[in-house]
Structure 1
Amino acid sequence: MIIDSADLDAKSAYKLLIGSVIPRPIAWVSTVSTEGVGNLAPISFFTVVGRKPPRVSLSFQPRSDGATLKDSFVNIRDTGEFVTNMATLPQVEGLHRTAFEFEPDVDEFDAAGLEKEPSDAVRPPRIKGAPIAFECTVEHIFSAPDGLNNVVWGNVVRFYVRDDLYLPSGRIDFGAIAPVGRLAAEYTLVDNTFVTPLDAEVLQERSGRRMERLDGKDAHYSPIDTPAWSPSGATTNLS
Protein backbone atom coordinates (compact mmCIF):
# COMPACT_ATOMS: atom_id res chain seq x y z
CA MET A 1 0.00 0.00 0.00
CA ILE A 2 1.24 3.46 -0.89
CA ILE A 3 -0.15 6.34 1.18
CA ASP A 4 0.23 9.96 0.15
CA SER A 5 0.88 11.97 3.30
CA ALA A 6 -0.83 14.96 1.72
CA ASP A 7 -4.11 13.03 1.97
CA LEU A 8 -3.79 12.47 5.72
CA ASP A 9 -5.00 14.57 8.61
CA ALA A 10 -2.76 14.92 11.66
CA LYS A 11 -4.40 12.05 13.55
CA SER A 12 -4.04 9.61 10.67
CA ALA A 13 -0.41 10.55 10.05
CA TYR A 14 0.33 10.18 13.76
CA LYS A 15 -1.08 6.64 13.77
CA LEU A 16 1.24 5.65 10.93
CA LEU A 17 4.28 7.25 12.56
CA ILE A 18 3.84 5.73 16.01
CA GLY A 19 3.09 2.31 14.58
CA SER A 20 6.15 2.37 12.34
CA VAL A 21 8.89 4.07 14.37
CA ILE A 22 9.28 1.32 16.96
CA PRO A 23 10.40 0.69 19.57
CA ARG A 24 10.88 4.22 20.88
CA PRO A 25 12.72 5.00 24.12
CA ILE A 26 10.65 6.82 26.70
CA ALA A 27 11.97 9.90 28.45
CA TRP A 28 10.05 10.06 31.72
CA VAL A 29 10.39 13.81 32.11
CA SER A 30 10.20 15.54 35.47
CA THR A 31 9.78 19.31 35.68
CA VAL A 32 8.58 21.93 38.13
CA SER A 33 6.42 24.93 37.34
CA THR A 34 7.42 28.47 38.23
CA GLU A 35 5.12 28.01 41.24
CA GLY A 36 6.99 24.87 42.30
CA VAL A 37 4.40 22.27 41.26
CA GLY A 38 5.91 18.96 40.18
CA ASN A 39 5.03 17.51 36.80
CA LEU A 40 5.76 14.18 35.13
CA ALA A 41 5.25 13.14 31.52
CA PRO A 42 6.35 10.16 29.40
CA ILE A 43 7.76 11.49 26.12
CA SER A 44 8.48 8.92 23.41
CA PHE A 45 9.49 11.40 20.71
CA PHE A 46 12.90 11.40 22.41
CA THR A 47 16.46 10.84 21.28
CA VAL A 48 20.13 11.76 21.70
CA VAL A 49 21.45 14.56 19.47
CA GLY A 50 24.98 15.22 20.72
CA ARG A 51 27.97 13.96 22.71
CA LYS A 52 30.05 17.01 23.64
CA PRO A 53 28.12 18.49 25.26
CA PRO A 54 25.86 15.48 25.75
CA ARG A 55 22.48 16.58 24.44
CA VAL A 56 18.99 15.13 24.19
CA SER A 57 15.91 16.10 22.21
CA LEU A 58 12.24 16.06 23.26
CA SER A 59 9.31 16.69 20.92
CA PHE A 60 6.04 18.04 22.33
CA GLN A 61 2.58 18.11 20.79
CA PRO A 62 -0.32 20.05 22.30
CA ARG A 63 -2.73 18.53 24.80
CA SER A 64 -5.66 16.42 23.60
CA ASP A 65 -7.74 19.53 22.91
CA GLY A 66 -5.28 20.38 20.13
CA ALA A 67 -4.98 23.96 21.34
CA THR A 68 -3.23 23.98 24.72
CA LEU A 69 0.46 23.50 25.44
CA LYS A 70 1.38 20.58 27.68
CA ASP A 71 2.37 21.49 31.23
CA SER A 72 5.74 19.77 30.91
CA PHE A 73 6.68 21.89 27.91
CA VAL A 74 5.48 25.10 29.60
CA ASN A 75 7.59 24.26 32.65
CA ILE A 76 10.68 23.58 30.54
CA ARG A 77 10.16 26.78 28.56
CA ASP A 78 9.63 28.91 31.66
CA THR A 79 12.33 27.43 33.93
CA GLY A 80 14.94 26.17 31.46
CA GLU A 81 15.41 22.87 33.31
CA PHE A 82 14.18 19.27 33.22
CA VAL A 83 15.18 15.70 34.07
CA THR A 84 14.76 12.68 31.81
CA ASN A 85 14.34 9.54 33.90
CA MET A 86 14.62 6.02 32.49
CA ALA A 87 11.31 4.17 32.32
CA THR A 88 11.55 0.58 33.60
CA LEU A 89 9.14 -2.25 34.28
CA PRO A 90 8.93 -1.91 38.09
CA GLN A 91 7.43 1.58 37.75
CA VAL A 92 5.36 1.10 34.59
CA GLU A 93 2.02 1.62 36.35
CA GLY A 94 3.18 4.99 37.65
CA LEU A 95 4.59 5.79 34.22
CA HIS A 96 1.23 5.18 32.61
CA ARG A 97 -0.61 7.29 35.19
CA THR A 98 1.58 10.27 34.35
CA ALA A 99 0.36 10.15 30.74
CA PHE A 100 -3.01 11.36 32.06
CA GLU A 101 -3.72 15.07 31.61
CA PHE A 102 -3.86 16.46 35.14
CA GLU A 103 -4.59 20.10 35.86
CA PRO A 104 -1.52 22.37 36.13
CA ASP A 105 -1.91 22.80 39.91
CA VAL A 106 -1.73 19.02 40.58
CA ASP A 107 1.63 17.63 41.69
CA GLU A 108 1.90 14.55 39.50
CA PHE A 109 4.43 12.84 41.77
CA ASP A 110 1.71 12.74 44.42
CA ALA A 111 -1.04 11.84 41.93
CA ALA A 112 0.97 8.88 40.62
CA GLY A 113 2.22 7.78 44.04
CA LEU A 114 5.88 8.39 43.19
CA GLU A 115 8.64 9.73 45.41
CA LYS A 116 10.99 12.57 44.58
CA GLU A 117 14.76 12.39 44.76
CA PRO A 118 16.64 15.71 44.84
CA SER A 119 18.66 16.43 41.73
CA ASP A 120 22.27 17.53 41.95
CA ALA A 121 22.34 20.49 39.56
CA VAL A 122 18.77 21.40 38.54
CA ARG A 123 15.59 22.26 40.40
CA PRO A 124 13.30 19.48 39.09
CA PRO A 125 13.68 16.31 41.15
CA ARG A 126 14.53 12.89 39.83
CA ILE A 127 12.07 10.03 40.22
CA LYS A 128 13.13 7.88 43.15
CA GLY A 129 13.85 4.36 41.93
CA ALA A 130 14.67 5.33 38.35
CA PRO A 131 17.99 3.59 37.60
CA ILE A 132 19.29 6.32 35.28
CA ALA A 133 18.45 10.00 34.94
CA PHE A 134 19.82 12.97 32.99
CA GLU A 135 19.65 16.39 34.61
CA CYS A 136 19.27 18.87 31.78
CA THR A 137 19.28 22.56 31.01
CA VAL A 138 17.66 23.97 27.88
CA GLU A 139 19.99 24.62 24.97
CA HIS A 140 17.39 25.56 22.35
CA ILE A 141 13.65 25.41 21.63
CA PHE A 142 12.42 24.97 18.06
CA SER A 143 8.79 25.96 17.52
CA ALA A 144 6.52 25.20 14.58
CA PRO A 145 4.65 28.13 13.02
CA ASP A 146 1.49 27.14 14.91
CA GLY A 147 3.35 27.51 18.22
CA LEU A 148 1.79 24.27 19.47
CA ASN A 149 4.39 21.76 18.28
CA ASN A 150 7.80 22.26 19.85
CA VAL A 151 11.18 20.55 20.07
CA VAL A 152 13.49 21.04 23.05
CA TRP A 153 17.22 20.44 22.97
CA GLY A 154 18.67 20.03 26.43
CA ASN A 155 22.27 19.70 27.55
CA VAL A 156 22.90 16.96 30.09
CA VAL A 157 24.72 18.63 32.98
CA ARG A 158 24.61 15.63 35.35
CA PHE A 159 24.25 11.90 34.78
CA TYR A 160 22.71 9.88 37.59
CA VAL A 161 23.49 6.17 37.27
CA ARG A 162 22.64 3.66 39.97
CA ASP A 163 25.93 2.42 41.41
CA ASP A 164 25.53 -1.25 40.46
CA LEU A 165 24.88 -0.32 36.83
CA TYR A 166 28.06 1.70 36.29
CA LEU A 167 30.80 -0.70 35.19
CA PRO A 168 34.55 -0.07 35.62
CA SER A 169 34.92 0.40 31.87
CA GLY A 170 32.54 3.38 32.04
CA ARG A 171 29.66 1.68 30.28
CA ILE A 172 26.17 0.87 31.53
CA ASP A 173 25.24 -2.69 32.50
CA PHE A 174 21.99 -2.47 30.54
CA GLY A 175 21.41 -6.20 30.88
CA ALA A 176 20.57 -5.59 34.54
CA ILE A 177 17.78 -3.14 33.67
CA ALA A 178 14.24 -3.89 32.51
CA PRO A 179 13.75 -0.89 30.19
CA VAL A 180 10.30 -0.17 28.79
CA GLY A 181 9.82 1.27 25.31
CA ARG A 182 6.89 2.57 23.32
CA LEU A 183 5.23 0.94 20.33
CA ALA A 184 2.08 2.65 19.06
CA ALA A 185 -0.14 3.30 22.08
CA GLU A 186 1.35 0.35 23.94
CA TYR A 187 4.53 -0.51 25.78
CA THR A 188 7.19 -3.12 25.19
CA LEU A 189 9.69 -4.71 27.54
CA VAL A 190 13.26 -4.97 26.29
CA ASP A 191 14.34 -8.34 27.68
CA ASN A 192 16.78 -9.82 25.18
CA THR A 193 19.93 -8.85 23.33
CA PHE A 194 22.10 -10.25 20.56
CA VAL A 195 24.94 -9.57 18.16
CA THR A 196 25.10 -10.81 14.60
CA PRO A 197 25.37 -13.27 13.02
CA LEU A 198 22.53 -15.29 14.54
CA ASP A 199 22.13 -19.00 13.93
CA ALA A 200 19.83 -19.85 11.05
CA GLU A 201 17.66 -21.88 13.45
CA VAL A 202 17.08 -18.81 15.61
CA LEU A 203 16.20 -16.65 12.60
CA GLN A 204 13.80 -19.25 11.25
CA GLU A 205 12.13 -19.78 14.62
CA ARG A 206 11.62 -16.05 15.15
CA SER A 207 10.69 -15.08 11.58
CA GLY A 208 7.03 -14.21 11.14
CA ARG A 209 6.18 -14.76 14.79
CA ARG A 210 3.92 -12.20 16.45
CA MET A 211 5.03 -10.37 19.55
CA GLU A 212 4.04 -12.01 22.80
CA ARG A 213 1.42 -10.07 24.78
CA LEU A 214 2.20 -9.89 28.49
CA ASP A 215 -1.24 -8.53 29.44
CA GLY A 216 -3.39 -11.41 28.20
CA LYS A 217 -5.31 -9.27 25.71
CA ASP A 218 -6.28 -10.38 22.21
CA ALA A 219 -3.43 -10.51 19.71
CA HIS A 220 -4.84 -7.61 17.67
CA TYR A 221 -5.88 -5.40 20.60
CA SER A 222 -4.73 -1.78 20.56
CA PRO A 223 -5.58 1.15 22.85
CA ILE A 224 -5.77 3.25 19.69
CA ASP A 225 -9.14 1.62 19.01
CA THR A 226 -10.53 2.66 22.42
CA PRO A 227 -12.00 6.00 23.63
CA ALA A 228 -9.13 6.32 26.14
CA TRP A 229 -6.58 7.01 23.39
CA SER A 230 -5.69 10.51 22.29
CA PRO A 231 -3.49 11.55 19.34
CA SER A 232 -1.71 13.95 21.73
CA GLY A 233 0.08 11.00 23.28
CA ALA A 234 -1.92 11.49 26.48
CA THR A 235 -4.49 9.13 27.89
CA THR A 236 -7.98 10.01 29.07
CA ASN A 237 -8.16 7.03 31.42
CA LEU A 238 -6.10 6.49 34.59
CA SER A 239 -6.59 2.72 34.58
Structure 2
Amino acid sequence: MDIDSRGLTAKEAYKLLIGSIIPRPIAWISTQSADGIGNLAPVSFFTCVGRKPPKVSLTIQPKSDGLSPKDSFLNIRDTGEFVTNLATLPQIMPLHRSAVEFEPDVDEFDAVGVEKEPSVLITPPRVKGAPVALECKVDKIFSAPDGLHHVVWGEVVSFHVRDDIYINGRIDFGALAPVGRLAAEYTVVDNAFVPPLPDEVMARRTGQRMERIDHLGDEYSAVDNSDWSASGAVAE
Protein backbone atom coordinates (compact mmCIF):
# COMPACT_ATOMS: atom_id res chain seq x y z
CA MET A 1 0.00 0.00 0.00
CA ASP A 2 1.48 3.33 -1.10
CA ILE A 3 -0.26 6.38 0.35
CA ASP A 4 0.39 9.86 -1.01
CA SER A 5 0.37 12.09 2.09
CA ARG A 6 -0.53 15.15 0.01
CA GLY A 7 -4.07 13.87 -0.37
CA LEU A 8 -4.64 13.11 3.30
CA THR A 9 -6.63 15.15 5.77
CA ALA A 10 -4.97 16.08 9.05
CA LYS A 11 -6.98 13.36 10.83
CA GLU A 12 -6.01 10.70 8.29
CA ALA A 13 -2.32 11.64 8.47
CA TYR A 14 -2.48 11.66 12.27
CA LYS A 15 -3.84 8.10 12.38
CA LEU A 16 -1.02 6.88 10.16
CA LEU A 17 1.63 8.73 12.15
CA ILE A 18 0.55 7.43 15.56
CA GLY A 19 0.41 3.89 14.21
CA SER A 20 3.81 4.17 12.55
CA ILE A 21 5.86 5.90 15.22
CA ILE A 22 5.69 3.38 18.05
CA PRO A 23 6.22 2.97 20.90
CA ARG A 24 6.13 6.63 21.86
CA PRO A 25 7.22 7.73 25.34
CA ILE A 26 4.65 9.75 27.25
CA ALA A 27 5.57 13.04 28.86
CA TRP A 28 3.12 13.51 31.72
CA ILE A 29 3.22 17.29 31.77
CA SER A 30 2.34 19.24 34.90
CA THR A 31 1.82 22.98 34.64
CA GLN A 32 0.27 25.73 36.67
CA SER A 33 -1.77 28.65 35.40
CA ALA A 34 -0.95 32.24 36.26
CA ASP A 35 -3.86 31.97 38.74
CA GLY A 36 -2.30 28.96 40.46
CA ILE A 37 -4.53 26.22 38.99
CA GLY A 38 -2.77 22.92 38.39
CA ASN A 39 -2.97 21.10 35.08
CA LEU A 40 -1.93 17.63 33.93
CA ALA A 41 -1.68 16.37 30.36
CA PRO A 42 -0.13 13.30 28.71
CA VAL A 43 1.90 14.26 25.63
CA SER A 44 3.20 11.47 23.40
CA PHE A 45 4.64 13.68 20.68
CA PHE A 46 7.68 14.01 22.90
CA THR A 47 11.44 13.50 22.80
CA CYS A 48 14.78 14.89 23.93
CA VAL A 49 16.53 17.43 21.69
CA GLY A 50 19.72 18.35 23.52
CA ARG A 51 22.12 17.34 26.26
CA LYS A 52 24.25 20.42 27.06
CA PRO A 53 22.07 22.01 28.22
CA PRO A 54 19.59 19.13 28.42
CA LYS A 55 16.40 19.89 26.51
CA VAL A 56 13.11 18.17 25.74
CA SER A 57 10.55 18.78 23.01
CA LEU A 58 6.75 18.70 23.24
CA THR A 59 4.38 18.89 20.28
CA ILE A 60 1.02 20.20 21.44
CA GLN A 61 -2.11 20.13 19.29
CA PRO A 62 -5.39 21.99 19.85
CA LYS A 63 -8.30 20.65 21.87
CA SER A 64 -10.72 18.16 20.34
CA ASP A 65 -12.74 21.01 18.80
CA GLY A 66 -9.75 21.69 16.56
CA LEU A 67 -9.90 25.39 17.38
CA SER A 68 -9.00 26.00 21.03
CA PRO A 69 -5.48 25.85 22.49
CA LYS A 70 -4.99 23.31 25.26
CA ASP A 71 -4.76 24.62 28.81
CA SER A 72 -1.34 23.03 29.23
CA PHE A 73 0.00 25.03 26.29
CA LEU A 74 -1.50 28.27 27.59
CA ASN A 75 0.11 27.65 30.97
CA ILE A 76 3.48 26.90 29.39
CA ARG A 77 3.26 29.98 27.19
CA ASP A 78 2.13 32.28 30.00
CA THR A 79 4.46 31.07 32.76
CA GLY A 80 7.43 29.69 30.80
CA GLU A 81 7.63 26.59 33.00
CA PHE A 82 6.53 22.94 33.09
CA VAL A 83 7.47 19.56 34.54
CA THR A 84 7.92 16.38 32.52
CA ASN A 85 6.92 13.49 34.78
CA LEU A 86 7.76 9.92 33.74
CA ALA A 87 4.66 7.85 32.95
CA THR A 88 4.72 4.44 34.65
CA LEU A 89 2.24 1.60 35.13
CA PRO A 90 1.38 2.24 38.81
CA GLN A 91 -0.07 5.66 37.85
CA ILE A 92 -1.72 4.66 34.57
CA MET A 93 -5.30 5.42 35.64
CA PRO A 94 -4.74 9.03 36.74
CA LEU A 95 -2.50 9.54 33.70
CA HIS A 96 -5.24 8.21 31.41
CA ARG A 97 -7.90 10.37 33.07
CA SER A 98 -5.72 13.46 32.77
CA ALA A 99 -6.37 13.36 29.01
CA VAL A 100 -9.92 14.56 29.75
CA GLU A 101 -10.53 18.16 28.69
CA PHE A 102 -11.48 19.60 32.07
CA GLU A 103 -12.62 23.19 32.41
CA PRO A 104 -9.76 25.67 32.89
CA ASP A 105 -10.78 26.43 36.49
CA VAL A 106 -10.50 22.76 37.55
CA ASP A 107 -7.30 21.71 39.31
CA GLU A 108 -6.54 18.48 37.48
CA PHE A 109 -4.34 17.07 40.25
CA ASP A 110 -7.46 17.00 42.43
CA ALA A 111 -9.69 15.83 39.57
CA VAL A 112 -7.63 12.70 38.82
CA GLY A 113 -6.54 12.02 42.40
CA VAL A 114 -2.83 12.82 42.20
CA GLU A 115 -0.87 14.56 44.94
CA LYS A 116 1.46 17.46 44.22
CA GLU A 117 5.14 17.50 45.07
CA PRO A 118 6.84 20.91 45.20
CA SER A 119 9.43 21.62 42.53
CA VAL A 120 12.79 23.13 43.47
CA LEU A 121 13.61 25.68 40.76
CA ILE A 122 10.24 26.35 39.14
CA THR A 123 6.67 27.00 40.31
CA PRO A 124 4.58 24.16 38.76
CA PRO A 125 4.48 21.10 41.04
CA ARG A 126 5.67 17.62 40.19
CA VAL A 127 3.52 14.50 40.33
CA LYS A 128 4.08 12.81 43.67
CA GLY A 129 5.12 9.21 43.11
CA ALA A 130 6.60 9.74 39.65
CA PRO A 131 10.02 8.04 39.80
CA VAL A 132 11.58 10.63 37.47
CA ALA A 133 10.57 14.25 36.92
CA LEU A 134 12.28 16.96 34.88
CA GLU A 135 11.78 20.58 35.84
CA CYS A 136 11.80 22.62 32.64
CA LYS A 137 11.95 26.25 31.60
CA VAL A 138 10.79 27.22 28.12
CA ASP A 139 13.65 27.63 25.67
CA LYS A 140 11.71 28.18 22.43
CA ILE A 141 8.16 27.89 21.13
CA PHE A 142 7.59 27.18 17.44
CA SER A 143 4.03 27.79 16.24
CA ALA A 144 2.44 26.64 13.00
CA PRO A 145 0.83 29.25 10.74
CA ASP A 146 -2.61 28.21 11.98
CA GLY A 147 -1.64 29.29 15.49
CA LEU A 148 -3.01 26.05 16.93
CA HIS A 149 -0.14 23.58 16.63
CA HIS A 150 2.98 24.25 18.69
CA VAL A 151 6.36 22.74 19.43
CA VAL A 152 7.83 23.63 22.80
CA TRP A 153 11.49 23.21 23.65
CA GLY A 154 12.18 23.19 27.35
CA GLU A 155 15.54 23.31 29.10
CA VAL A 156 15.77 20.80 31.93
CA VAL A 157 16.96 22.82 34.92
CA SER A 158 16.56 20.07 37.51
CA PHE A 159 16.32 16.27 37.46
CA HIS A 160 14.41 14.48 40.21
CA VAL A 161 15.26 10.77 40.36
CA ARG A 162 14.00 8.37 43.04
CA ASP A 163 16.93 7.38 45.22
CA ASP A 164 16.68 3.62 44.71
CA ILE A 165 16.88 3.85 40.91
CA TYR A 166 19.83 6.28 40.77
CA ILE A 167 22.96 4.14 40.36
CA ASN A 168 26.40 5.38 39.29
CA GLY A 169 24.97 8.47 37.62
CA ARG A 170 22.47 6.42 35.66
CA ILE A 171 18.82 5.44 36.00
CA ASP A 172 17.93 1.79 36.59
CA PHE A 173 15.18 1.68 33.96
CA GLY A 174 14.56 -2.01 34.64
CA ALA A 175 12.79 -1.05 37.86
CA LEU A 176 10.39 1.50 36.34
CA ALA A 177 7.67 -0.23 34.22
CA PRO A 178 7.48 2.79 31.88
CA VAL A 179 4.31 3.21 29.84
CA GLY A 180 4.23 4.30 26.20
CA ARG A 181 1.74 4.80 23.38
CA LEU A 182 0.88 2.47 20.49
CA ALA A 183 -1.40 4.48 18.22
CA ALA A 184 -4.10 5.37 20.77
CA GLU A 185 -3.49 2.42 23.11
CA TYR A 186 -0.84 1.87 25.75
CA THR A 187 2.08 -0.47 26.23
CA VAL A 188 4.22 -1.22 29.26
CA VAL A 189 7.93 -1.82 28.74
CA ASP A 190 8.56 -5.03 30.66
CA ASN A 191 11.44 -6.65 28.79
CA ALA A 192 14.93 -5.74 27.64
CA PHE A 193 17.63 -7.40 25.56
CA VAL A 194 21.00 -6.97 23.90
CA PRO A 195 21.37 -8.57 20.45
CA PRO A 196 22.03 -11.12 19.18
CA LEU A 197 19.11 -13.09 20.55
CA PRO A 198 19.09 -16.92 20.60
CA ASP A 199 17.67 -18.46 17.43
CA GLU A 200 14.80 -20.09 19.32
CA VAL A 201 13.76 -16.72 20.75
CA MET A 202 13.86 -15.09 17.32
CA ALA A 203 11.86 -17.95 15.80
CA ARG A 204 9.21 -17.76 18.53
CA ARG A 205 8.90 -14.00 18.41
CA THR A 206 8.99 -13.38 14.66
CA GLY A 207 5.47 -12.85 13.34
CA GLN A 208 3.95 -13.19 16.80
CA ARG A 209 1.10 -10.83 17.68
CA MET A 210 1.57 -8.53 20.63
CA GLU A 211 0.38 -9.90 23.96
CA ARG A 212 -2.52 -8.02 25.53
CA ILE A 213 -2.51 -7.64 29.30
CA ASP A 214 -6.06 -6.27 29.59
CA HIS A 215 -9.34 -8.23 29.46
CA LEU A 216 -9.28 -8.41 25.65
CA GLY A 217 -7.90 -11.44 23.82
CA ASP A 218 -4.55 -11.48 22.02
CA GLU A 219 -6.34 -11.45 18.65
CA TYR A 220 -8.13 -8.18 19.45
CA SER A 221 -7.17 -5.19 17.30
CA ALA A 222 -8.63 -1.76 17.90
CA VAL A 223 -8.22 -0.83 14.24
CA ASP A 224 -10.82 -3.45 13.29
CA ASN A 225 -13.47 -1.55 15.26
CA SER A 226 -14.60 1.62 13.50
CA ASP A 227 -16.49 2.80 16.57
CA TRP A 228 -13.55 2.53 18.96
CA SER A 229 -12.15 5.84 20.20
CA ALA A 230 -9.42 6.55 22.69
CA SER A 231 -10.94 9.98 23.22
CA GLY A 232 -14.25 8.44 24.19
CA ALA A 233 -12.47 6.20 26.66
CA VAL A 234 -11.45 9.21 28.72
CA ALA A 235 -14.69 11.18 28.51
CA GLU A 236 -15.47 12.74 31.86
Give the TM interval when normalised to the shorter protein.
Answer: over 0.9
The DSSP-based 3-state class of the residue aligned with 2:148 is: coil
Q: Percent identity?
A: 67
Equivalent position to 2:235, from 217, 234, 237 = 237
SS at structure 1 position matched to 2:208: coil
Give the aligned partner of residue 196 of structure 1.
195
In structure 1, the gaps of 5 or more residues are: none
Q: Distance in 2 between matches of 1:176 and 1:69?
A: 36
The aligned amino acid for 1:129 is: G
- Displacement after TM superposition at 1:222 (Å): 2.1
Partners of 1:68 and 1:148 within 8 A in 2:
yes
- 1:175 and 1:220, CA in 2 relative to 1: closer, same or farther beyond 3 A? same
CA RMSD in angstroms, aligned pairs only: 1.4
Q: How far apart are the structure 2 equivalents of 1:88 and 1:138?
A: 24
**Matched letter for residue 202 of structure 1:** V
Distance apart, 1:227 and its partner CA? 5.9
The answer for the alignment partner of 2:104 in structure 1 is 104
CA distance in 2, matches of 1:229, 1:166: 34
Deviation readout 1:161-211 (Å, 9 max, x if unpaired): 0000100x2111111111000111100000000001111111000000111
Return the alpha-carbon distance in structure 2 between the equivalents of residues 178 and 103 of structure 1. 31
Q: TM-score, normalised by structure 1?
A: 0.95
Q: Relative to 1, partners in 2 of residues 1:137 and 1:235: Cα closer, same or farther, differing over 3 Å?
A: farther
Q: TM-score, normalised by structure 2?
A: 0.96
Q: State the alpha-carbon separation in 2 of the partners of residues 31 and 235 from structure 1.
A: 23
1:58 partnered with 2:58: yes
5+ long unaligned stretches in structure 2: none
How many angstroms does 1:217 deviate by? Answer: 1.6
Structure 1 CA distance, aligned partners of 2:227 and 2:116?
32
Contact 2:185/2:230, CA 8 A, preserved across alignment = no
| Aligned counterpart, 1:214 | 213
Report the 3-state secondary structure (helix = DSSP H, G, I; strand = E; otherwise coil) of the residue aligned with 1:106. coil
